[in-house]
A and B are shown apart, each in its own frame.
Chain A
């Protein structure tokens, strides 16, 4: 039984026209003290596309997507989301942009003091204000079923395993039907079966809500099944770009070590 679909922010927002990039980053630089993490990163995320970002641990992948929602300020370059440069927006405009972006944190970032249900309701109540209790309830059940954890509804995050937390966190992210999804290692720490399910879920979300996604992953299976395009970050720049077959065929030793 499909619950009645509430009016979403996504539906209210006028569709993005044609092949405009949803996210366009150019010449992004970011350093922490003396350590330069991003040197010169430029990339575009097209509408409806799944872009996979590969890169060694510490190559600045998480920093990159944090810059997109301005959790970190850039040191140079522009980051424009839906045509707006997020680094120069005021709080109100920024909040508007953030409402359309789903962010899955690498560390899950579930609110410790709240139950799973409250965790899921939190963004729902805040982003779609004025939703009826019934709609909220339905929505919570729907996403929990999507991630296969319907029975965890009243548990505390501390009672969940790492993989379960990751899935709840994913549920919390997709519950508001964002237009753009930023997944930071959605399948890390999951068994192959669940991780395939997550990959399928990512594809479903993409089709169903026409989202565009950036997926950071080390999991090549996940990358194969979700990617429309893959880029690799290395030494603070975009080292390579192509689709899955390009990456599989390449003789570049750096890339090969990822795609054995």
Chain B
């Protein structure tokens, strides 16, 4: 439908406003014209009519057809509605294309993972990189996590008269939830952004193309190795953070009380069941995979030009963090059903 924007600035009551009306329909203005002193002619059907003509025509219309009064309003609303629909269609289209894109990417990664040649050296290098880069950060966070959790839950446990359960409670909450999620979020920031930026800049500076022409499959060499490395290293980092968290918790417990390390640990572990441990470990593999996949997807599909590197890194972090939380929610539901 052809549309034209008609500017009517003729009203004393209203300063001026813009109506978008379909070509050749000037009845829209009828309702307004009725009250208005039209000071300027305005264009309809591509013709310039005198104000008097317009006024005459519209007062006739209104006299004979009261529906005209509302029709203008309705039409403007419907035009607005169709614009909104268009915008939403575009969003939906983009969203679905993205989903298809991501699915294809994951399928390609899966296919290449089980293909003949595995880039073992690069895989090991990536494992080392991921572990090495994140270790200090994870260590600090792990200890503080345990420490803070202990200090915070102590008063409440005292209130319930259950302070002896402190080590067990902290250990269970660390292992089931706090350790995996917080570590995964940190890894999403550290590893996800690293991958997004690295692959993004390789893409922008044609390094991925260069790899491809020296008969190396960049998907296999760059993406598969990184995704697998993240899938394996993130759970290890999570276990490491859990352990440090419990150690930090012991420090926290000793601030106000006096308990030996061994006693604390044995108390802590006596409350941990296999069913606390296993689901947490399983979900941390998923966290790792999600972080690796998102980082690589964003980097590998970076646009042209240097600014897309930053965009890739940034959106990798955002999406990976979000997905970690969503995966966690799903994992909790599934665990709840199974265990």
Contacts and interface: CB of A to CB of B under 8 A. Distances in A.
A99 B209 contact: no
A107 B215 contact: no
B201 interface: yes
B275 interface: no
Contacts of B214: 98, 122-123, 126-127, 176
B215 A109 contact: no
B210 A112 contact: no
Contacts of A105: 206, 209-210
Interface string A131-167: 0000000000000000000000000000000000000
B144 to A, nearest CB: 32
Nearest to B204: A107
A54 interface: no
A241 to B, nearest CB: 27
A110 interface: yes
A69 interface: yes
Interface in B156-213: 198, 201-202, 205-207, 209-213
Contacts of A113: 198
Nearest to B210: A109
A101 interface: yes
A244 B119 CA distance: 47
A71 interface: yes
Interface residue range, chain A: 20 to 34
Nearest to B198: A113
Given A112-B201, A112-B202, A69 B207 contact: no
B216 interface: yes
Interface string A98-126: 11010101111111110000000011001
A71 B215 contact: no
A126 B212 contact: no
A95 interface: yes
Interface string B213-247: 11111000000000000000000000000000000
Contact of B210 (A111, A127, A176): A111
Contacts of A99: 215
Is the contact region of chain B dominated by helix, strand, or loop, or is it mixed? helix
A126 B213 contact: no
Interface of B: 198, 201-202, 205-207, 209-217
Q: Which 5 A-B residue pairings sit nearest by Cβ, starting from the closest?
A: A123-B214, A109-B210, A109-B206, A95-B215, A103-B213
Contacts of B217: 91
A112 B197 CA distance: 12
13 contacts: A69-B213, A71-B213, A99-B215, A103-B210, A105-B206, A109-B209, A111-B202, A112-B202, A122-B214, A122-B216, A126-B215, A127-B214, A127-B215
Contacts of A106: 206
Contacts of B211: 111
Contacts of B209: 66, 71, 105, 109
A99 B210 CA distance: 12
Interface string A204-232: 00000000000000000000000000000
Contacts of A108: 205
A176 B205 CA distance: 22
Name the residue in B205, B210, B212, B216 with the highest tally of chain A Cβ atoms < 10 Å from its Cβ.
Answer: B210
A111 B213 contact: no
B206 A98 contact: no
A106 B210 CA distance: 11
B215 A111 contact: no
Given A112-B201, A112-B202, A98 B215 contact: yes
Contacts of A176: 214
Contacts of A95: 215
B203 to A, nearest CB: 11
Nearest to A169: B210
B149 to A, nearest CB: 38
A50 to B, nearest CB: 20
B120 to A, nearest CB: 13
Given A69-B213, A98-B212, 6 more contacts: A66-B209, A91-B217, A95-B215, A101-B213, A109-B206, A112-B201
Contacts of B212: 71, 98
Contact of A110 (B201, B207, B213, B215): B207
A64 to B, nearest CB: 15
A232 B215 CA distance: 30
